[in-house]
């Protein structure tokens, strides 16, 4: 039996620990591991080779993905999927582990329906926006990157009596911004999931400035598209000089945290064990739900939209009104 691993879509810290453990765990189980380089594009182009221990030595601490990633429009055309399948047949590969998001899982689900190649998906996206799992690989590292940047920005903002607006990634999901705002002690949190009252917030902040506040920290999710508006509001309505910092792709890099490394190992262990069980199943995603690992179908993942848990949004109440 041979199993291949690929990473698809946006990269994230935790992918390399997952790749390393995949190789080590396959050899432990007397299974030949393969790498598919460059994601779905590499699967189409036949960029596939056997993995050895030397490939993964010393990558546990590295961010990104050693086997690289891609997004592929071609894979949604049957002729290219057939080409990808023939590439797998040439190497005797009949099972796949894919690290990615819901779009990547949908692509391989169609691949399974076409050719019967079993796979298990591992949710890996800093956006943490995949329905059915409480946690996606890479989130903890991204949060720590945001925390480090926000703490540093606060230092300089306090020195100059400034406001700072920090824009986080997350597509249309405000998870990163929300958790960062809570844990960094922000005064304002702007996310798609919560309405906010700038008039009331402005009154509160102006009162605090009159009574000695030296800075204001605002965390804004990119999906709101409100970063510049919040800067303008702070400067013109609240009356404090303000700087904006867009963290961008710094949030996707960096050394994986201990938590992301451990989660990577547990996700991959569950994925490989399931593929080795010889049980017949459609495409599955290994998820982390209510503090335990379990498996759900692709249809389930696609059946609803991820929602931030209510107890977290409740914690942000003072930052939106």
pLDDT in tens, the chain (321 residues): 899 999 999 999 999 999 999 999 999 999 999 999 999 999 999 999 999 999 999 999 999 999 999 999 999 999 999 999 999 999 999 999 999 999 999 999 999 999 999 999 999 999 999 999 999 999 999 999 999 999 999 999 999 999 999 999 999 999 999 999 999 999 999 999 999 999 999 999 999 999 999 999 999 999 999 999 999 999 999 999 999 999 999 999 999 999 999 999 999 999 999 999 977 788 899 999 999 999 999 999 999 999 999 999 999 999 999
Q: Which pLDDT score is estimated for 282?
A: 84
Q: Which pLDDT score is estimated for 278?
A: 77
138 close to 62: Cβ distance less than 8 angstroms: no
In 3D space, the residue among 101, 107, 110 whose CA is nearest the CA of residue 133 turns out to be 101
Catalytic residue among 11, 127, 129, 260: 127
What pTM was computed for the model?
0.96
68 close to 146: Cβ distance less than 8 angstroms: no
What stretch(es) of the chain map to CATH 3.40.50.460?
A: 140-252
How would CATH label the architecture of 2-138+256-301?
Answer: 3-Layer(aba) Sandwich (3.40)
- The tally of CA atoms less than 13 A away on the side-chain side of residue 220 is 22
What stretch(es) of the chain map to CATH 3.40.50.450?
A: 2-138+256-301
User: Domain 140-252, CATH 3.30.565.10 — does that match?
Assistant: no
127 labelled catalytic:
yes
Beta bridge partners of 99: 7, 122
84 close to 41: Cβ distance less than 8 angstroms: no
Instruction: Label the pairing between strands 95-100 and 188-190.
Output: unpaired
Cα–Cα distance, 100 to 124 (Å, whole number): 5
- Three-state SS for 32? strand
């Amino acid at each position: 039996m041979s199993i291949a691993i690929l990473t698809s879509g946006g990269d994230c810290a935790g992918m390399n620990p997952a790749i390393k453990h995949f190789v080590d765990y396959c050899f432990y189980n007397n299974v030949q591991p393969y790498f598919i380089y460059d994601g779905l594009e590499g699967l189409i182009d036949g960029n596939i080779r056997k993995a050895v221990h030397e490939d993964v030595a010393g990558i546990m601490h590295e961010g990104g993905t050693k086997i690289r990633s891609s997004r592929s429009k071609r894979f949604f055309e049957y002729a290219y999927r057939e080409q990808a399948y023939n590439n797998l047949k040439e190497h005797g590969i009949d099972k796949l582990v894919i690290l990615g998001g819901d779009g990547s899982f949908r692509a391989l689900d169609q691949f399974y329906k076409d050719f019967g190649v079993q796979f298990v998906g591992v949710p890996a996206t800093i956006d943490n926006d995949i329905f059915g799992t409480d946690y996606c690989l890479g989130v903890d590292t991204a949060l720590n990157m945001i925390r480090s940047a926000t703490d540093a920005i606060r230092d300089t903002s306090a020195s100059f009596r400034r406001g700072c607006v920090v824009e986080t990634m997350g597509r249309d999901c405000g998870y990163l911004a929300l958790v960062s705002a809570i844990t960094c002690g922000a005064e304002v949190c702007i996310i798609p999931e919560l309405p906010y009252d700038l008039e009331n917030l402005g009154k509160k902040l102006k009162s605090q400035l009159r009574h000695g506040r030296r800075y204001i920290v605002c965390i804004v999710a990119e999906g709101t598209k409100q970063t510049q508006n919040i800067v303008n509001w702070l400067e013109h309505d609240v009356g404090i000089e303000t700087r904006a910092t867009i963290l961008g792709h710094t949030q996707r890099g960096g050394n994986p945290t201990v938590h992301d490394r451990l989660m990577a190992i547990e996700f991959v262990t569950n994925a490989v064990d399931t593929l080795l069980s010889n049980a017949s199943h459609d495409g599955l995603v290994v998820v982390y739900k209510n503090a335990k690992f379990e498996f759900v179908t692709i249809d389930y993942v696609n059946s609803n939209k991820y929602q931030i848990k209510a107890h977290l949004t409740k914690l942000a109440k003072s930052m939106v009104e």
